[in-house]
Amino acid sequence: MKTKAVLEFADVTAIAAAAQAEAAKNSWAVSIAIVDDGGHLLSFQRLDGAAPISSHIAPGKARTAALGRRESKVYEDMINGGRVSFLSAPNLDALLEGGVPIMKDGQCLGAVGVSGVKSNEDAQIAKAGIAAIGL
């Protein structure tokens, strides 16, 4: 039997705080979602001024990154490259940049999804959150 690392509440809190700080530093109004490796919501923040739709998109980006074990941008690039049939993939509903998996020793612990600004800025916020736990 193998041993697997999991996100603890303290990890989730640290990720959320660092992601929020990155957004605030840049005056970005976003929604931030953190999920476990199965895509189940662990934390959600909709910052002041964030568009209501971002509260649906951020968890979707996080879920997509966690279930796929890769950044959600990979799927966006696939579709933009002409593989539009990937739009029918089940349970992946936010195939846009801004979902980043939380990886440790080759294993996915979960993911952070952000929505509300340009997609590359969403990813920047997610990565800043993940960096708070040294990953």
pLDDT at 44: 98
Structure token pair of residue 107:
């294993």
CA 29 – CA 4 distance, rounded (Å): 35
pLDDT at 46: 98
Print burial letters for 22-58: b (CB count within 10 Å at least 16), e (below 16): bbeeeebebbbbbbbbebeebbbbbbeebeeebbebb
Judged against a pLDDT cut of 90, whether residue 126 lies above it is answered with yes
Judged against a pLDDT cut of 90, whether residue 107 lies above it is answered with yes
pLDDT at 47: 98
Reported as a single tens digit per residue, the pLDDT across 47-99 is 999 999 999 999 999 999 999 999 999 999 999 999 998 888 888 888 999 99
Q: What is the model's pTM?
A: 0.96
What value does the mean pLDDT of the chain take? 96
Q: Which residue has the higher pLDDT, 3 or 104?
A: 104
CA 84 – CA 103 distance, rounded (Å): 27
Judged against a pLDDT cut of 90, whether residue 26 lies above it is answered with yes
Q: What is the arithmetic mean of pLDDT over 91-113?
A: 94
